[in-house]
Amino acid sequence: MKCMTWRGNNNFSLDEIDIPKIRPGMCLVKIHTAGICGTDIHITQGLFPSPENVILGHEFSGTVVEVSQNVDKSLLGKDIAAHTVGGCGKCESCKRWTKAHCEVNRRRIGGFSQYVLLYEQALSIIPSNLSLENASLTEPASASLSCVEMLKPPPSNNTAVVVGNGLLGLFTIYFLKQIGIEKIISSEIDNQRRNLSKQFGADILVNPIEENLTEIVSSETNGYGADIVVEAVGNPKVLEGCFPLIRPRGQMLLVGVNPKGSKLPFDLYEMHRNEISVFGAFGQGNSFERALNHLPNMPLTNIISGRYPLEQLPKIIQKSANLEGIKFVIGPND
């Protein structure tokens, strides 16, 4: 089978390797769609730790083409969304944190390949009203859902600000509205992304280059600040600008992945005095299947900006890094 192996920096090689052999408790999946994530981009830029000489891609969908003897045979031929780890359900991480960080079942080959061998429990069958291509968005949707579920907003008269309207920001806006946030302010410099935020549930759209976000948030909250502020960019300077937006006893959610080694860029005394809660949010938690079932209800028409063959992955990662679209996907078997 063909796969694209990351060799460090911006270097990839298109390789021919054997199709993985079936193992107990596992299924062989033919990849239909694999999404390019911001984490994949950060890995190539040296901003996110990863070993070299691996197959990246953790957002994908496909079809089950083979199962081991001890796996439910009805899975054969099923269209599925999947993640690269199937939690054992027994280790400390599975029981007290998330199955996505299982200590026993490690990450498998990524989705930038024609086939991938996965644990049965990593698979979720796609609803009939969702396309295989859109099902590849399950992992980022589950990450946003898991993030939002950490929050404890006031039951009424609540306001949230989402800074950054990339895919994670858009999904976060959607789930904030689902949990009852009454007023959502989205902040984004890109016109396409900012306009899409309205479709996902944002009430007030702000271009922070042309408008003063701090003044708008103050005006919309009677001078108190927002109950929830979400940083969905992954940039310490942007995070620094988020701190003045939050009210006392407010909650700040870090959805964007900051570079390894970054420090909190705001006054810790003020954080302490104003009793601000800061949540780090990373990965899908245990919300994968629930997020999958939300996708048919989302306005996904303009989310996927282009589909490309496996051979073009290095070029499309650069295209994504230049913020030229919302989500680019790869079809390894196209």
* Domain spans of the chain, in order of start: 2-139+285-331, 151-280
How many Å is the maximal CA-CA distance in the chain? Answer: 63
**Phi, psi for 6 (deg, rounded to 5):** -80, 125
Q: Is 230 left (phi over 0), alpha (psi -120 to 50) or beta?
A: beta
The pLDDT > 70 percentage for the chain reads 99
6-20, 95-109, 227-241, 294-308: segment of lowest average pLDDT: 95-109
Report the pLDDT value the prediction gives residue 108, as an integer from 0 to 100.
65
Integer Cα distance of 45 and 320 in angstroms: 12
- Would you say the CATH fold of 151-280 matches that of 2-139+285-331? no
Q: Give the pLDDT of residue 104.
A: 83
Q: Are 273 and 133 in contact (CB under 8 A)?
A: no
CATH class of 2-139+285-331: alpha beta
pLDDT of 107 reads 66
Q: What is the pLDDT of residues 46-66, one digit of tens each?
A: 888 888 999 999 999 999 999
Residue from 190, 186, 225 nearest 206 by CA: 186
191 compared with 281, residue with greater pLDDT: 191
pLDDT for 262-280, tens place per residue?
999 999 999 999 999 999 9
Q: Which superfamily does CATH assign the domain made up of 151-280 to?
A: NAD(P)-binding Rossmann-like Domain (3.40.50.720)
Average pLDDT over every residue of 68-80: 96
